[in-house]
Structure 1
Amino acid sequence: MKYKNILGVLGVLGVVTALSGCTTVADVLGADSATLNLNAAQSYNQMLNEAKQKQILDTSSATYKKVNRVFVKMRSHADALNTTGHQFDWQVAVIKSKEINAYVAPGGKVVFYTGIVETLKLTDDEVAAIMGHEMVHALEEHSKNKVGAQALTDLAVSYGAKYVGQSAGGYGGLLLDMGAKYGVGLPFSRNLESRADKGGLMLMAKAGYNPNAAVTLWQKMNAINSSGNNPLMKFTSTHPSNNDRIAGLQKLMPEAMALYKPRK
């Protein structure tokens, strides 16, 4: 029975991938931006409540202060790039977890796990590289490309919870569900990842963060990935290879450096 279920999931994935090739799944389903943003905000607030109950919402550590400091400095620059026709209520949450991950939900709801900052020993500039990347995902509404996959991810989350058990660290279904629904990470999204890399690089430069930190960030990711002993690495699991990413960012560096003015 388990293998039949897996084959069913793969079949749905194939259909979703085919749909995304000819038109956005969001258009097929009639999912407008306002509805996506509202639903994401509701899920985000539920996730926050669950994180508070589990006592894993970080609001005071040095890691939280670093992430929030970068978030505040980049928010106005992100707003200046918003062409969606909908004002974003930008928010950032920091979750206490060893997992190396970050993601964004529609409408500007950013989530960082402490593991990505602490394990990689990220500088403010490197945090800005991730923040810019996630902000661009939201600004370009990349989650619209995943709307059709939500049925699949809902099934995968419930199915995975049965067989994986405590793989999410016991943090609860909503924490897992938010990342699965809104974190852009299916294989067909690699082009979106490249767009977020480029847009995020330019955004961090405009906000006064050194674009070269985007390269050092992925070099750190590479070092951890190459160790072959990192089950908590989620941020790069279905993304372009780190080496391809680094090469792409290096090609874009002259353009980014032309926008860069060191922050005061």
Structure 2
Amino acid sequence: MIRNSIFFLALTTLIHCSTSPTGRKQIILVKDAEMNEMGTSAFAEMKTKTPVDTNVVANTYVNCIVSAELAVTSDTTGVNSWEVVVFRDNNPNAFALPGGKIGVYTGMFSIAKNKDQLAAVIGHEIGHVIARHGNERISQNQLAGGSVKILESLGKPTVAGALGMGAKFGILLPFSREHESEADLIGLELMAKSGFDPRQSVELWKNMSALGGNKPNELLSTHPSDATRMKNLNAAMPNALVLWERAKAEGKHPNCQL
């Protein structure tokens, strides 16, 4: 009992509770400034390894969407200004990093077929940053790794091995799916508030689903299935439509064109 008490006390001293934009409780162990520095460094390295697309039309298009969504975004991570880069890569991908760094691959333009669908993508990525998902992910790994070390120091390698498997399938992967689902909902709200049609978020995932390919079972995947994402987005759509109508009434009609 004493050893168990020491174990849980050690874990408690590591934990700092925070709350995500959707009200979900989080464990955050890393300072925002450190995360922002890591994100900035990783983005700088990315720009040296992946060709940057300097096409004026493409960059104006992406920045138009980003600017509209950032105008309605509440960010408390200490980012002063966001940097947006279009990368010349045929993969349908986009990402955002702590420190306010957004990258959009040119391959995404063929999947996100209009400004509203790309707004869903970008809003999702902004959601990851403002919800501190990168920080939470690192914190989860630190906590899982630390707990294994504590158990091993107590002379329980068998339990430590079991916790390692539990951490993989019981903590890390499910939380990652939760991050993705949460970012979808944050992105839905951001696109609606900035004047983009939130219904196009579902159309985006129809496009993604149509790509086919071998996808892992959702239980063992770090991402929700396309069907799950569309179901969750549709469930949140009534409120998003209210926000969209309000945004249009306020004169928010982003004129972003590719």
TM-score in terms of structure 1 length: 0.65
CA contact (8 A) 1:129 1:211 kept: yes
How far apart are 1:24 and its partner, in Å? 7.5
Correspondence for 1:167: none
Provide the rounded CA distance (Å) in 2 between the counterparts of 1:146 and 1:25: 14
How far apart are 1:199 and its partner, in Å? 0.9
Correspondence for 1:72: 67
CA-based RMSD: 3.0
TM-score in terms of structure 2 length: 0.67
> Alignment identity in percent?
33
Correspondence for 1:156: none
Correspondence for 1:135: 126
Provide the rounded CA distance (Å) in 1 between the counterparts of 2:114 and 2:43: 26
* Residues 198 and 30 of structure 1: CA distance in aligned 2, closer, same or farther (over 3 Å): closer
Deviations 1:20-42 (A, max 9, x none): xx958999995211111012112
Aligned-partner residue type, residue 133 of structure 2: H
2:55 aligned with 1:57: no
2:81 aligned with 1:89: yes
Which of 75, 94, 109 aligns to 1:102? It is 94
Which of 193, 199, 205 aligns to 2:192? It is 205
Length, aligned pairs only: 195
Which has the greater radius of gyration?
2
Query: What is the correspondence of 1:74-223 to structure 2 with a 5 Å cutoff?
Result: 74-78=69-73, 81-84=74-77, 86-118=78-110, 120-147=111-138, 188-223=175-210
Gaps of 5+ in 2: 1-10, 19-25, 143-171, 216-220, 254-258
How far apart are 1:59 and its partner, in Å? 2.0
* Residues 229 and 31 of structure 1: CA distance in aligned 2, closer, same or farther (over 3 Å): closer
CA contact (8 A) 1:25 1:148 kept: no
Secondary structure of 1:214's match? helix
* Residues 25 and 149 of structure 1: CA distance in aligned 2, closer, same or farther (over 3 Å): farther
Secondary structure of 1:57's match? coil
* Residues 30 and 255 of structure 1: CA distance in aligned 2, closer, same or farther (over 3 Å): closer
* Residues 31 and 61 of structure 1: CA distance in aligned 2, closer, same or farther (over 3 Å): same
The list of structure 1 runs, each at least 4 consecutive aligned residues, that deviate by more than 2 angstroms after superposition, is: 22-31, 61-66, 148-151, 185-188, 261-264
Provide the rounded CA distance (Å) in 1 between the counterparts of 2:52 and 2:207: 25
How far apart are 1:209 and its partner, in Å? 0.4
How far apart are 1:111 and its partner, in Å? 1.1
